[in-house]
Amino acid sequence: MTGDSTVRIGLLGCGNVGAALVQLVADNGDAVAARTGLRLEVTRVAVGDVTRPRPVDLAPGVLTGDASGVVCDPDIDLVVEVMGGIEPARTLILTALEAGKPVVTANKELLATHGAELFDAAVKSGVDLLFEAAVCGAIPLMRPLRESLAGDRINRVIGIVNGTTNFILTRMTEGGESFAEGLAEAQALGYAERDPTADVEGFDAAAKAAIIASVAFGIDVRVGDVHREGITGITTDDIAMAARLGYVVKLLALADSVAGPGGDQVSVRVHPAMVPVAHPLAAVREAYNAVFVQGEAAGELMFYGRGAGGRPTASAVLGDVVDAAANLRQGTSAGVAGLAAARLRPMDELASQYYLSLDVADRPGVLEQVAAAFARHEVSIVQVLQTGMGGEARLVLVTHIARERAMQATLADLRGLESVDRVGSLLRVVGPE
Residue 234 to residues 200, 209, 241, 246, 273: CA-CA distances in angstroms?
11, 21, 11, 17, 10
How far apart are alpha carbons 88 and 90 in whole angstroms?
6
List CB contacts of 111: < 8 A, sequence separation 6 or more: 105, 118, 131, 134, 207, 210, 211
How far apart are alpha carbons 266 and 359 in whole angstroms?
35
- Is the sign of the CA dihedral 412, 415, 419, 423 positive or negative? positive
DSSP letter, residue 77: -
Task: Tell me the sheet residues that pair with 399.
Answer: 381
Q: 132-141 burial string, b = 16+ CB within 10 Å, else e?
A: bbbbbbbbeb
Catalytic residues: 208
Q: Which residue from 287, 164, 305 is spatially nearest to 231, judged by alpha carbons?
A: 164
Q: 148-160 burial string, b = 16+ CB within 10 Å, else e?
A: ebeebebbbbbbb
Residue 208 to residues 89, 156, 211, 215: CA-CA distances in angstroms?
18, 15, 5, 11
